Every structure is written in C-alpha cells, then in structure tokens.
C-alpha cells in the first residue's frame, strides 16, 4: 500500500500529499517560500502559462496554503506568499488524525453495507 509507505518521504512531501498538491502547485509553493510574488513573477518562476498558474494559485489560496495581499501602485495588484510550513504541518497532522479516527470508526462498524453484500 503505497500511501502508507513513508520511509522516503520528507515532512514537506507528507504535507504536500495531505493537501493533494499537484507538481505545479508544489513548484509554486517552493518558488514562494520566503518571498512575495505576483502572478506574472510566478509565471516566470515555474515557466507555465498565466491562466494555468492562476488556476493553481487560486486552488492553493482556497486551501489556505497561500496568503494573498493587495498592493497599490497606480493600480491594485496582488502578491502571494506561503503560509509558514510549521502551520501547514500542524494542519496536516490534524487532518491525518481526523482521517485516522474516521477510518477506525468506519472499520469498527458491525453492520454490512449493501455494497458489501453484493460482492
């Protein structure tokens, strides 16, 4: 069971897996660590189209992995940075703990679901 094998996974990789981050999202996260970048700058860092980067950044922002801050310099624009890894590790641990509790409870149930009976 590959998802249970952690021998070669770094804590950062476990966090990435917990948040179901794509390779592009992982690249964006790595590019933004300790930096504030605009979408245009992120595009330059990860060498992808603007629309692809915008979708990935939006998804990360909705997962509360990125922080978006409005700036003003003749126009309004946004810069993005990462939530500190320590915070993400804490949230990942809580999510994994909740998942474990849910799975344990489900496996402890005595009743057999209709799907199980048909097999």
CATH of the domain at 81: 1.10.10.10
User: Does a structural domain hold residue 4?
Assistant: no
Domain range for 28: 10-108
Evaluate whether 36 touches 79 at the Cβ level (below 8 Å). yes
User: Does a structural domain hold residue 2?
Assistant: no
Count the domains in the chain: 1
User: Does a structural domain hold residue 1?
Assistant: no
pLDDT of residue 36: 95
User: Does a structural domain hold residue 66?
Assistant: yes
Q: Which residues contact 83 (CB under 8 A, 6 or more apart)?
A: 64, 65, 66, 67
Q: Model-level pTM?
A: 0.77
pLDDT of 115 strictly over 70: no
User: Does a structural domain hold residue 41?
Assistant: yes
User: Does a structural domain hold residue 35?
Assistant: yes
- Alpha helices in the chain, H assignment, sequence order: 11-18, 23-32, 39-46, 50-62, 85-108, 114-117
Q: In 10 A of CB 101, how many CB atoms?
A: 10
pLDDT, tens digit, for every residue of 61-101?
999 999 999 999 888 899 999 999 999 999 999 989 999 99
User: Does a structural domain hold residue 3?
Assistant: no
**Cα 47 off chain centre by:** 20
Q: Which residues contact 56 (CB under 8 A, 6 or more apart)?
A: 22, 24, 25, 28, 48
**Cα 30 off chain centre by:** 12
Average pLDDT value over all residues in the chain: 88
Helix (H, G, I), strand (E, B) or coil at 64: coil
């Amino acid at each position: 069971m590959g998802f249970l094998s952690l021998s070669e996974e770094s804590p950062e990789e476990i966090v990435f897996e917990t948040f179901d981050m794509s390779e592009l999202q992982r690249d964006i996260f790595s590019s933004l660590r300790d930096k504030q970048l605009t979408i245009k700058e992120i595009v330059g860092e990860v060498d992808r189209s603007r629309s692809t980067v915008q979708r990935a950044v939006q998804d990360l922002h909705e997962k509360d992995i990125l922080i978006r801050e409005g700036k003003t310099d003749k126009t309004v624009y946004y810069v993005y940075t990462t939530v500190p890894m320590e915070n993400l590790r804490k949230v990942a641990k809580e999510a994994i703990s909740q998942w474990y509790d849910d799975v344990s409870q489900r496996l402890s149930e005595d009743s057999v679901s209709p799907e199980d009976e048909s097999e």
